[in-house]
Amino acid sequence: MKFPFKESIFATIGNWPPEWKKINLAQGFPNFPYPDLLKNYALETLNTPSLHQYAPTRGMLSLREAIVGYVSSFYSVSICPHKGIIVTCGATQAIALALNILLEEGDEVLAFAPFYDSYHAQILFSKARLNTLELSWENDFSFTKAELEKALTPKTKILLLNTPHNPTGKVFTKKELDLIAQVTAKHPCVILSDEVYEFLTYNKNRPHVSVASHPDLKNKTLTISSLGKTFGATGWKIGWIYGPEALWPILEQISLKLQYDCFSVTSFIQEAAAKALGDLENYLPSFQSHYLSLRDFFIPQLQKLHKCTARAVNPDGSYFTLIPVPKSFKPKSFKNDQQFCEELAKKTGIASIPTSSFYLSNPKEFSFRLCFAKDKILLEKALAQLKLFLEKKSLP
């Protein structure tokens, strides 16, 4: 079987020479230690003999109950720990399983562009089609009711949301969810909501609103999240998917497929995750304060570097910013953002993501994504090198 897509941009950057990514602001993970509480729980569960055999396919009951607890506490959403939730090997597997189960050949998925590139790959695996509604820079990444109505078709099986949004940093508002509810009221599509950055928000006037908490969307929404972004441990690969009773048959099919996939997720890691989620309310204030300090350290300085970085996005959520690629860049011009990112990496060691990778075709404006989930020493180095590059001092 020939794969219907090329390698991901993350794999491409992973294969770059080490000197091209000495300052790695490309991939979305921190370069500082994960929290002590997670380490301590992991050591505790690692030394528990009973936690080294297969876990139930749906996940350890302790972890499912911990997820049920935080979802109830933060969003007032009720989930059945036995039939309404499944633990997966990271959020990406949850997305893949949901798409594979829900889609048939000829179905369509509507997503907002730019989008996480894994979405498209899994949709193609299912022999379905991805359609997109582009969130435009000039409109502050917003959309209208008319645009959404036009983008939905009779073949749309899934509306795929991502809030907080990677890579724009947009947080969908209650008003926008109201609009989505109005447009989809008579449409049979399922909403698949990727909310892995749910606790990475910065604007008190634009808090994260879980799609499952919306009264008119809750019965048609499957929600996906994970441990990795909230606890800075992306390598643990602990994700989950949950939904209401109306969607339990879909979750049952996902569970059946998981039995013949990886069967279950690492037992002692699940137990440590359950304990960490139990401490969420105590943990979040310092976590959110830390990331807010990184954003407020990096973005204002970035915006002062150069005329093109003046438009760098100050995100309401996630830990990414977008920067326009200069339209005119002498003595060398760039045909697209991928060429720009390669030249930036070669000349400065700054690895970044060309955001055209998150579109079906060339976007209205080329840009590149930087991750600021890094210590301030590395961010300072990035700012200094990027300034030199943009001022063309490092170019021949």
pLDDT in tens, 268-293: 999 999 999 999 999 999 999 999 99
Strand pairing of 221-226 and 238-242?
Answer: antiparallel
H or E segment to which residue 379 belongs = helix 376-390
What pLDDT does residue 394 have?
Answer: 42
Q: What is the mean pLDDT of the chain?
A: 94
Percentage of the chain beyond pLDDT 90 is 85
Q: Are 164 and 249 in contact (CB under 8 A)?
A: no
Other beta carbons less than 10 A from residue 98's beta carbon = 28
CATH 3.90.1150.10 fits 9-30+284-390, yes or no: yes
Percentage of the chain beyond pLDDT 70 is 96
Average pLDDT over residues 120-129: 94
Average pLDDT over residues 124-135: 95
Please determine, for residue 206, whether its predicted confidence score (pLDDT) is greater than 50: yes
What pLDDT does residue 3 have?
Answer: 66
Please determine, for residue 20, whether its predicted confidence score (pLDDT) is greater than 70: yes
How sure is the predictor about 138, in pLDDT bands with cuts at 50, 70 and 90? confident
How sure is the predictor about 314, in pLDDT bands with cuts at 50, 70 and 90? very high
Please determine, for residue 329, whether its predicted confidence score (pLDDT) is greater than 70: no
Average pLDDT over residues 288-312: 96
- Domain positions in the chain are 9-30+284-390, 36-278
Please determine, for residue 395, whether its predicted confidence score (pLDDT) is greater than 50: no
Is the full-model pTM beyond 0.85? yes
Q: Are 140 and 172 in contact (CB under 8 A)?
A: no
> Measured between alpha carbons, how far is 102 from 120 in angstroms, rounded to an integer?
14
Please determine, for residue 59, whether its predicted confidence score (pLDDT) is greater than 90: yes
Please determine, for residue 111, whether its predicted confidence score (pLDDT) is greater than 50: yes
Q: Which of 7-21, 113-127, 243-257 has the highest mean pLDDT?
A: 243-257
What pLDDT does residue 326 have?
Answer: 80
CATH 3.40.640.10 fits 36-278, yes or no: yes
Q: Which residue has the tokens 């059945």?
A: 80
> Measured between alpha carbons, how far is 53 from 57 in angstroms, rounded to an integer?
12
Please determine, for residue 393, whether its predicted confidence score (pLDDT) is greater than 70: no
What pLDDT does residue 4 have?
Answer: 65
Please determine, for residue 336, whether its predicted confidence score (pLDDT) is greater than 90: no
What pLDDT does residue 99 have?
Answer: 97
pLDDT digits (tens, 9 = 90+) for 165-196: 999 999 999 999 999 999 999 899 999 999 99
What pLDDT does residue 205 have?
Answer: 93
Average pLDDT over residues 47-55: 96
What pLDDT does residue 279 have?
Answer: 96
What pLDDT does residue 72 have?
Answer: 98
Write out the E strands in 314-395. Answer: 320-324, 350-351, 353-354, 367-371
The neighbouring-strand residues paired with 223 are 193, 242
Average pLDDT over residues 362-367: 89
Both structure tokens of 152: 């939905």
Please determine, for residue 331, whether its predicted confidence score (pLDDT) is greater than 80: no
How sure is the predictor about 215, in pLDDT bands with cuts at 50, 70 and 90? very high
Average pLDDT over residues 242-262: 96
Q: Are 228 and 318 in contact (CB under 8 A)?
A: no
